[in-house]
Amino acid sequence: MKNQLVTVFGGSGFLGRHTVRALARAGWRIKVATRHPNMSFFLRPLGSVGQIDFVKADVADPEQVAAAVAGADAVINLTGILFQKGQTFGEVQAEGADNIARAAAAAGVSRLVHVSAIGADAESESSYAVTKAQGEAAMREAFPAAVILRPSIIFGPDDSFFNRFADLARYLPVLPLIGGGKTLFQPVFVGDVAAAIVKTLSDDAAQGRTYELGGPTVYSFKQLMQIILEETGRKRFLAPVPFFIASIQAFFLQLMPNPMLTMDQVKLLKHDNVVAPTAAGLGDLGIVPTSVEAVVPSYLWRYRAKGEYAADLPAA
């Protein structure tokens, strides 16, 4: 892919920074499209001199999107939000995806990869899930050959799942198990998702297909909390919280600048987040999924009472 240009929307986020690094290693020239280019310059060392550049673009603005796509051989859309503050799900995940797909088609882009999420469903009661489904539909309509990737929870050193709950365990004597902690997840390593993105750009057989990306193991929410407590060396009570009580709590928590829980997230937790039995996945792309146990201990040690020196100490 040497000298070919790829525009990456959402390249400065958690998945974005790993994707940019994988693209740079694969030889792509990269244009990172972001609302705040000045806050994304930390990505430059991931490539060689001049390999990674930046352009200001808001996915809700068709003209800015078209300008960011101009001249690109491929486009990747990684944009998404977990809660609505300043931007809405519709603006980012539905309208934004539509703008990107239309711009890519108009520019004659040869490859388009769109990262959605397991659970995208136009009939869901969750606005997040509905707009993810709308984004997929917009991609298929404007750019039928687009590759759609649906990951489960993505984990890695700077993730917002394991790190968040490990941090909460430092201060709270009790961790909530929403819905009893029975919801199932299939966490997927961020490096594997980035590898899948790069792979589909050069794989003719992947064009127009949808892949669901999950790790090698399915866990309940309770099991994931237990892993976090074990790796951080802490003893905390895991309290089951019925969905209706969680919804009431979320009503107030979602008013915070960076909410720990929203009502929409409670709705999502009512449904399992695992790869469908018949779905194409990482294996179809020749990628062996990485386990939670192989990676999570390498960064959760920072939440232990004595940091990396607490490995053999009793639980706090």
The Cα–Cα gap between 241 and 178 comes to 5
pLDDT number for residue 22: 97
- Does a structural domain hold residue 206? yes
- Does a structural domain hold residue 266? no
- Does a structural domain hold residue 19? yes
Structure tokens at 293: 């146990």
- Does a structural domain hold residue 76? yes
In this structure, what CATH number is given to the domain that contains residue 150? 3.40.50.720
Q: Is 7 helix (H, G, I), strand (E, B) or coil?
A: strand
Residue at 295: amino acid letter: V
**CB distance 87 to 128 below 8 Å:** no
Q: Is 238 helix (H, G, I), strand (E, B) or coil?
A: strand
Structure tokens at 75: 């486009």
**CB distance 145 to 105 below 8 Å:** no
- Does a structural domain hold residue 291? no
- Mention every residue, 6+ apart, whose C-beta is less than 8 A from residue 25: none
pLDDT tens sequence for the chain (316 residues): 567 999 999 999 999 999 999 999 999 999 999 999 988 999 999 999 999 999 999 999 999 999 999 999 999 999 998 888 778 898 999 999 999 999 999 999 999 999 999 999 999 999 999 999 999 999 999 999 999 999 999 999 999 999 999 999 998 999 999 999 999 999 999 999 999 999 999 999 999 999 999 999 999 999 999 999 999 999 999 999 999 999 998 888 888 877 888 899 999 999 999 999 999 999 999 999 999 999 999 999 999 987 766 655 555 5
Q: Is 259 exposed, middle or buried (0-12, 13-18, 19+ CB in 10 A)?
A: middle
pLDDT number for residue 256: 81
**Structural domain harbouring 138:** 5-159+186-213
φ and ψ at 245, to 5 degrees? Answer: -75, -40
Give the count of domains, the chain: 1
pLDDT number for residue 257: 79
State the alpha helices, DSSP H only, in the chain: 14-25, 62-69, 89, 96-106, 127-142, 162-171, 190-202, 221-232, 243-253, 263-268, 292-295, 297-300
**CB distance 61 to 79 below 8 Å:** no
The Cα–Cα gap between 161 and 219 comes to 14
The Cα–Cα gap between 254 and 261 comes to 6
- Does a structural domain hold residue 53? yes
- Does a structural domain hold residue 169? no
The Cα–Cα gap between 202 and 98 comes to 23
The Cα–Cα gap between 248 and 261 comes to 11
- Does a structural domain hold residue 231? no
